[in-house]
Structure 1
Amino acid sequence: MSSVVNHKNVERIENKISDCLNRAERYFKIGLQRPSFNFKQRGRTAGTAYLQRNEMRFNTYMLQQDPDKFIDHVVPHELAHIVVYQVFGSKVRPHGKEWIAVMEHLFDVEASRTHDFDVPKPRNLFLYQCACQVHEFTAHRHGRAVKGTQYVCRYCRKNLNFLKKK
């Protein structure tokens, strides 16, 4: 576990997982495999469920902003993906009707695909220019552009060309 995550929040996450899994097991009348979790998630994503690994990754930057909201919404969101995969298999849509039903009817949480936590500011920015303005690219997007991906401004419809690293 990450040293920036306090023991109380780890325990609360474990309890939330247990509570939600118990509800799902009672409803579906089957045993479900308890997923592991860690705090390796980075960037703009609050959490990710790795279905085949039965693993959930959480973003500590967002957990620290509002632990109650994070535990009440993000943990069930990712766990619902795991439950749906274990119950229905891989032939269902990630945020489809099965996932929505698990979120809203079993976990009693609004089925939202997005979060409103603040996202960390990117460290390495790269400037690209079109005919009307300068755009900031993250290192990831810049790497894709270097490998040949063409980006076009949504306003002037001109190609974006690399200027310099910010």
Structure 2
Amino acid sequence: MHAAQQRVAQALARCREVYPTLPAPKVWFDLKGASAGQAHLGRGGLRFNPVLLSDNRDAYFDEVIPHEMAHWLVFHLANGTRLKPHGREWQAVMRDLFGLVPKVTHRFDTQRSQPRPYRYECGCQTHCFTARRHALVVKGRRYRCRHCDQTLVYSAFENP
């Protein structure tokens, strides 16, 4: 985590070359699920997924941290004006400031960061649900298979 915070500091220094008064973001390692990072402008900082960081360290340092820092910079340059999250301004920062191809999504294996231990069955296959989706089913939500259109039924056997 310390090395990631240092990389955030390096990216901040790069951003301050064009916007010297850019405030330093707070940094949290509390993001879960499939998201690698998030510029959480309301909380005043950047959030990162510690599991994906651990599994994809080089890509995090080379792509994810600059990606989120580009959001941070664009938000402050726009002075609160709402812009498209991955619009022209963000793309220009990625290309011109960080020298990166402005990619919106990652291709990390999210198996460890997004466990799906709840099994549901239909007429044609097994579906694995996250705890959040399973909780919605317990509250009454129904899901249907996209292939056979049957309602998914909890099988009670959890994945190992």
Shorter chain as denominator, the TM-score bin is: 0.7 to 0.9
Answer yes or no: is 1:49 the counterpart of 2:44: no
Q: How many residues align?
A: 156
Answer yes or no: is 1:34 the counterpart of 2:24: yes
- What does 1:144-159 align with in structure 2 at a 5 Å threshold? 144-159=136-151
| Deviation, structure 1 residue 143 | 1.5
| Deviation, structure 1 residue 129 | 1.5
- In structure 1, distance between residues paired with 2:53 and 2:103: 17
| Deviation, structure 1 residue 123 | 4.8
Distance 1:152 1:82, change over 3 A: same
Answer yes or no: is 1:86 the counterpart of 2:86: no
- In structure 1, distance between residues paired with 2:67 and 2:113: 24
Match of 1:22 among 11, 16, 21: 16
Task: List structure 1 segments (4+ residues) > 6 angstroms apart after TM superposition.
Answer: none
- In structure 1, distance between residues paired with 2:58 and 2:8: 10
Distance 1:17 1:115, change over 3 A: same
Runs of 5+ consecutive residues of structure 2 not aligned to the other structure: none
- In structure 2, distance between residues paired with 1:129 and 1:90: 46
Calculate the TM-score normalised by the size of structure 1. Answer: 0.81
Distance 1:121 1:16, change over 3 A: closer
Answer yes or no: is 1:11 the counterpart of 2:6: yes
- In structure 2, distance between residues paired with 1:24 and 1:158: 55
Identity of aligned residues (%): 37
Distance 1:41 1:122, change over 3 A: closer
Corresponding residue for residue 76 of structure 1:
66
SS at match of 1:159: coil
Runs of 5+ consecutive residues of structure 1 not aligned to the other structure: none
- In structure 1, distance between residues paired with 2:3 and 2:85: 30
Q: Contact 1:24 / 1:83 at 8 angstroms: preserved in 2?
A: no
Calculate the TM-score normalised by the size of structure 2. Answer: 0.84
- In structure 1, distance between residues paired with 2:83 and 2:24: 20
- In structure 1, distance between residues paired with 2:7 and 2:43: 22
Q: Contact 1:23 / 1:107 at 8 angstroms: preserved in 2?
A: no
Answer yes or no: is 1:125 the counterpart of 2:120: no
- In structure 2, distance between residues paired with 1:49 and 1:143: 27
Per-residue Cα deviation, 1:3-57 (whole angstroms, up to 9, x for no partner): xx3x4443233223322x22441xxxx6322211121122221111111222101
- In structure 1, distance between residues paired with 2:66 and 2:113: 26
Q: Larger deviation: 132-141 or 61-70?
A: 61-70
